[in-house]
Amino acid sequence: MTEIMSAVPRNGYQEVWDRSQSHRDDFWLEAAERLDWDTAPQTALEQRSETEWRWFPDGTLNVCANALDRHIDAGRGDTIALIADSAMTGTQQRISYLELRDRVATFAGALRSLGVEKGNRVLIYCPMTPEAVVAMLACARLGAIYSVVFGGFAANELATRIEDAKPSVIVTSSGGLEPGRQVRYLPLVHRALEICGEEASGVHAVIVANRDEVPGSAADYADDGAGAAWHDWDTLVAGAEPADPVPVNANDPLYILYTSGTTGSPKGIVRDSGGYAVALSWVMRGIYDFGPGDTIFTASDVGWVVGHSFIVYGPLIAGGTTVLYEGKPVGTPDAGAFWRVLAETGAKILSTAPTALRAIRREDPDLAELAKYDLSNLRAIYLAGERMDPETWHWLRDGLGVPVVDHWWQTETGWPICANPLGIEELQVKAGSTTVPMPGYNVRIVDAAGADITAPGVEGNIAIKLPLPPGGMLEIWGSKQRFIDSYLAAFPGYYASGDAGHFDDDGHLFVMGRTDDVINVAGHRLSTGSLEEVLTQHPAVAECAVIGIADELKGQRAAGFVTISRGSDIASATLASELIALIREQVGPVASFRDVTVLNRLPKTRSGKILRKTMRQIVDGEEYTVPATIEDAGVVDEFIEALSTTVSAPPTNVVTLPR
């Protein structure tokens, strides 16, 4: 990494990154000192083999105590820990550290009364209400391993996760709220248990938190005969004894999180306790410049890793205030929803997905809603989940006047691989770049054979030199070998990120998309990300996706799918012709770009990732499975119908770029 990193100015960031590499153990042991340990670690890293390592193996702690109790012990119990804002009900709750700790301790006692102890599994299937956060922290308090499943997942998908994690208890709610509809959870939980069967599930108790807005209660299933006892949350906690934090080994699992897009056998990412807590403690200061007195609004869901790291654990470990939001970026009630939350909570940081901001841009391209709110406390916006296109990046930065950090990370890593570390030094910002690798990450570019080809401008597979830093995944639940096969076998000595990209002359990393999003047109490898950058330059394009579709002559050719910004008065055929011309002008005939389809919306997961693989399979006439994580299954039918309106230009056989 040295030849790339040396391009970055030698000052705060560079010195910190260098030390994380040259004095790795000292670096992370010092970071660990910011936590409260029952047994302070003396060893930073235990390297068991090339493919197995453990952080702080001789340390013991409780993550819940570090998120709650220690702040109360320091005299900050009255500080607001959690602001629960529901755009769906028009309500807002402000919960102090003391109140949240007491609710967590009591619910932990309720779980213990049902036999939940250290190492047991609990499945949490809740909407974005305080009960979800309480349940997560209560499991951490007991040393129980939990898995959050996104509220509203179909019964069969919920069943696969039950069968994989084998929880003894399920914590759920009567239901969730979506714009214009209710999602009743209890029939889905009941059906999932039926699918599993009593013996296969192992679930002996279901705890139900009632919502006035959604019908259903534990009493509805008290005599279902399926083997699990159904309990009312309020009744159960009323007689519970509060539980004290249980020390666990730093390597003990904190949670299992199933990756988005999982089909068939689920892939449960296992996160440790100590390494994760240490990493998040460093991240909140080093990357986010966040601490006591600060508020962060992370517009995500606790069903995703972003919600775990930056709604729940990161902000609370740092002693700040975190916002739990139930709503959408648009339509609840308008495109100013995020600005309202930022203004009312005084948040310093907004963290969200690019797709949410593109939705706002589509509805309110002139940011008219922004004028209604005071965002004077806002200092930075952080983006993750999918590549941020430069056009939306410029729109946001110019409109809000604060740094926009497109940082890159994954469920598997638990925290950002690359970012602009505003807590250390604000580096030069470049549209389309994720800035630079964070301390602990040695990021390399390798070719298909695993050879290191890292050099400015050279594109290839993005890989991370092993071991992963603290907070990275330990394994896949139930299969260490599957972890090796999925992430470590492709390039020995490296973690394969699955993304492609390159560094520039200044050591900034550009992530251009998933490696399977690179298309091969008559031997020319083209990044779909670069083609999408060109399409978003058109003022009428709100969002876009480019995929490689089968071509008899060239193997593949690029096809574009776009949505139109609200207020743009342009015919679909006209837009398609202009986009085809734009690609040929800026990329050249090599892309063989001649197909444009205008959509009302793109098929996406609930975390905002565009389902490019599914789209390609549909266009190519292959068998496909709609991922369980899709935001709205109806959009696939819309997509198929829209294919009949694809505008195609005459083909070109030119396969070389013009001079």
- Count of residues in the chain: 659
User: Contacts from 511-516 at CB under 8 Å and sequence distance 24+?
Assistant: 511/387, 511/408, 511/418, 511/434, 511/462, 512/387, 512/459, 513/387, 514/612, 515/461, 516/613
Residue 284 binned pLDDT confidence (cut-offs 50, 70, 90)? very high
Q: Hey, what's the torsion of the CAs at 258, 153, 386, 443, to 10 degrees?
A: 0
Q: Which two tokens stand for residue 220?
A: 């509805």
Residue 271 binned pLDDT confidence (cut-offs 50, 70, 90)? very high
Average pLDDT over residues 326-336: 95
245, 220 Cβ separation under 8 angstroms: no
pLDDT digits (tens, 9 = 90+) for 353-367: 888 998 899 899 999
380 has pLDDT over 90? yes
**In this structure, what DSSP letter does residue 372 have?**
G
The C-alpha angle 174, 198, 173, rounded to 5 degrees, equals: 10
| Distant-in-sequence, close-in-space partners of 135: CB < 8 Å, separation ≥ 6 | 107, 122, 124, 126, 146, 171
Calculate what percentage of the chain has a pLDDT beyond 70.
Answer: 93
| String of DSSP letters for 535-554 | HTTSTTEEEEEEEEEEETTT
Average pLDDT, the chain: 90
308 has pLDDT over 70? yes
288, 405 Cβ separation under 8 angstroms: no
User: For position 199, what pLDDT does the model report?
Assistant: 60
User: Contacts from 362-368 at CB under 8 Å and sequence distance 24+?
Assistant: 362/330, 362/542, 362/543, 362/563, 362/564, 362/565, 362/566, 363/330, 363/334, 363/335, 363/566, 364/330, 364/334, 364/335, 364/336, 364/566, 365/395, 365/565, 365/566, 365/567, 367/399
pLDDT digits (tens, 9 = 90+) for 632-646: 878 888 999 988 888
Q: What share of the chain is helix, strand, coil (3-state, %, to 5)?
A: 35, 25, 40
Whole-angstrom distance, CA of residue 326 vs CA of residue 382: 19
pLDDT digits (tens, 9 = 90+) for 123-141: 999 999 999 999 999 999 9
Please name the residue ranges forming H helices in 122-258.
Answer: 130-142, 155-165, 186-196, 198-201, 233-238
Instruction: Report the amino acid identity of residue 569.
Output: D
Residue 224 binned pLDDT confidence (cut-offs 50, 70, 90)? low
pLDDT digits (tens, 9 = 90+) for 536-560: 889 999 989 998 888 776 678 889 9
Average pLDDT over residues 614-628: 87
Residue 7 binned pLDDT confidence (cut-offs 50, 70, 90)? very low
User: For position 263, what pLDDT does the model report?
Assistant: 42
497 has pLDDT over 80? yes
Average pLDDT over residues 489-503: 94
Whole-angstrom distance, CA of residue 263 vs CA of residue 191: 19
Average pLDDT over residues 277-296: 97
User: For position 611, what pLDDT does the model report?
Assistant: 87
11 has pLDDT over 60? no
pLDDT digits (tens, 9 = 90+) for 579-616: 998 988 887 776 778 899 999 999 988 767 788 888 98
| Helices 12-22, 24-32: crossing angle, 10 deg rounding | 110
Whole-angstrom distance, CA of residue 580 vs CA of residue 519: 17
Instruction: Report the amino acid identity of residue 433.
Output: S
Structural domains of the chain ordered from first start: 522-648 (3.30.300.30)
185 has pLDDT over 90? yes
User: For position 657, what pLDDT does the model report?
Assistant: 30
Whole-angstrom distance, CA of residue 612 vs CA of residue 607: 14
Whole-angstrom distance, CA of residue 65 vs CA of residue 73: 10
Please name the residue ranges forming H helices in 45-129.
Answer: 63-64, 70-73, 97-113
pLDDT digits (tens, 9 = 90+) for 47-61: 999 999 999 999 999
Which H or E element spans position 5?
helix 2-5
User: For position 3, what pLDDT does the model report?
Assistant: 46
Using alpha carbons, select from 519, 472, 128, 501 the residue that is nearest to residue 299: 128
261 has pLDDT over 60? no
Q: How are beta strands 80-86 and 121-125 bridged, if at all?
A: unpaired
215, 177 Cβ separation under 8 angstroms: no
Average pLDDT over residues 322-335: 96
| String of DSSP letters for 442-479 | -EEEE-TT--B---TT--EEEEEESSP-TTS--EETTB
317, 450 Cβ separation under 8 angstroms: no
User: For position 200, what pLDDT does the model report?
Assistant: 63
Whole-angstrom distance, CA of residue 354 vs CA of residue 542: 12
Q: Which two tokens stand for residue 556?
A: 């593949």
User: For position 167, what pLDDT does the model report?
Assistant: 96
Average pLDDT over residues 441-456: 96
Best-predicted range by mean pLDDT among 28-32, 198-202, 532-536, 566-570? 28-32
pLDDT digits (tens, 9 = 90+) for 98-121: 999 999 999 999 999 999 999 999
